[in-house]
Amino acid sequence: MKEWKTPYNSFNSMKGLLYAPWYQSIRDWKDGKIPVPLPPVEASLDPIHACNLMCQHCNAHTYLEEKKDNRRMTDEHMFNLIRFLGEWGVKAICFGGGGEPTMHTALGEAIKLTHECGMESSVATNGTLLDDKLIEIMAKYCRWVGVSVDAFKASTYKEGRNKDLIGVAFHNIKKLSNKTKELESKCDVSFKFLIMPYNQLEIFGACLVAKDLGVKDFHARPADFRHQGLGEWKKKNNEYKIKIIKDQFEKCHEIETKDFRVFTIMHKFDENFLPIKNFTQCYASPCCIQLCANGDIYLCPDQRDEEFYKLAEHDPDPKRILDIWGGKRHYDLVFNIGKDNCATRCTFSPYCKQ
């Protein structure tokens, strides 16, 4: 099945082969040749554990419902954490994942600081809270911004999100796309579509809208219905109309241009749209580190808020990360016990096999 026009793109997991120095360090760490692996390529940093939409199909839904303390990272600690990551040697930071990052009032400053510290930044957002100042910062400093919309019609959007904000999302996507063009920015704006039973008939319609809004990329993929983070929509089996979805994928690719790219990501899923996990252990997990708003550190983004995968806390001192990086618990999760206790889709599945 066609996933993209050219294989040379950031959504192709074969890009992991560019991480050869990190892979080699992980292998050397496993073999006892070095005490710790290289610092991760990327940090997944969640500034805030809160969201203005609370979508049931979000893979962070269950722990966003938990009213724990320290749901917002303080400005001072977030800035100190970013400085530490830059000094440590991390190459990029992705803001998002554990909530809606734009709800953190210091996100713009954090993005600028990431740039000043020599790292790339990206943001995963629902796009409904973007103001002109943040849009300009994103366009100027981010490598990419992924906006999760998952709908074409207002009624479908509201079914998934319980709020009627699709018009706001479209408006902000248009403004962000225009700003990147105005600044001749390298920031790729992506319209994200997570396929669920309630929206599976609207993929092509959403693709048409995305093209009209001026985004660089349209990205669609199936969901993992078994993910521990899902809310009431979690289930053992999917309810996809697979042929209809594939037909829409083909139509989406037909409207591609040099300025509008379509990505229908399937290499992490089997023919029944179920996640593939054909690797033996979590070998690639040290290429990323998960840093949560409440101060917790986890093995990977897919296991945030899962106690078994918690490594330590980065708050109040980010240098605590060095105490656990390459330690016994970290080693065991990567090479011995991590994969067998994981029941969810793996973001790094192809990397673990490489």
State pLDDT tens for residues 8-37. Answer: 989 988 898 899 999 999 999 999 999 999
Q: What is the pLDDT of residue 56?
A: 77
Residue with tokens 């029944």: 272
Quick one: average pLDDT of 248-277?
Answer: 95
Q: Where is pLDDT greater, at 69 or 194?
A: 194
- Residue 62 pLDDT grade (very low, low, confident, very high; cuts 50, 70, 90): confident
Q: How far apart are CA 300 and CA 167, in angstroms?
A: 34
Q: How far apart are CA 262 and CA 220, in angstroms?
A: 8
DSSP state of 70: -
Give long-range contacts, CB 8 A cutoff, 24+ apart: 230-239: 230/56, 230/57, 230/58, 230/59, 230/61, 230/62, 231/56, 231/57, 231/58, 231/61, 231/62, 231/65, 232/56, 233/56, 233/57, 233/196, 238/197, 238/272, 238/273, 238/274, 239/197
- Reference 222, options 197, 202, 204; nearest CA is 197
DSSP state of 11: T
Share of the chain above pLDDT 90, in %: 77
- Reference 91, options 13, 143, 39; nearest CA is 39
Tell me the HSE value of 1 on the side-chain side, using a 13 A CA sphere.
Answer: 23
Q: How far apart are CA 257 and CA 239, in angstroms?
A: 32
**pTM for the structure as a whole:** 0.95
Quick one: average pLDDT of 64-93?
Answer: 92
Residue 282 phi, psi (nearest 5): -85, 55
Q: What is the mean pLDDT of the chain?
A: 94
* 348 contacts 288 by C-beta, under 8 angstroms: yes
- Residue 127 pLDDT grade (very low, low, confident, very high; cuts 50, 70, 90): very high
3-state secondary structure 125-138: ECCCCCCHHHHHHH
Q: For the chain, which domains are there? A: 13-27+40-353 (3.20.20.70)
Under 8 Å CB-to-CB from 81, ≥6 apart: which residues?
45, 73, 291, 314, 318
Residue with tokens 């409440």: 294
Q: What is the pLDDT of residue 174?
A: 99
Quick one: average pLDDT of 182-192?
Answer: 98
* 238 contacts 274 by C-beta, under 8 angstroms: yes
* Beta strands at 310-313 and 296-298: parallel, antiparallel or unpaired: antiparallel
Highest mean pLDDT among 64-78, 208-222, 272-286: 208-222
Q: How far apart are CA 303 and CA 228, in angstroms?
A: 9
DSSP state of 206: H
Rg from Cα positions in the chain: 19
189 residue type, one letter: V
What is the maximum span of the chain, computed from C-alpha positions, in angstroms? 57
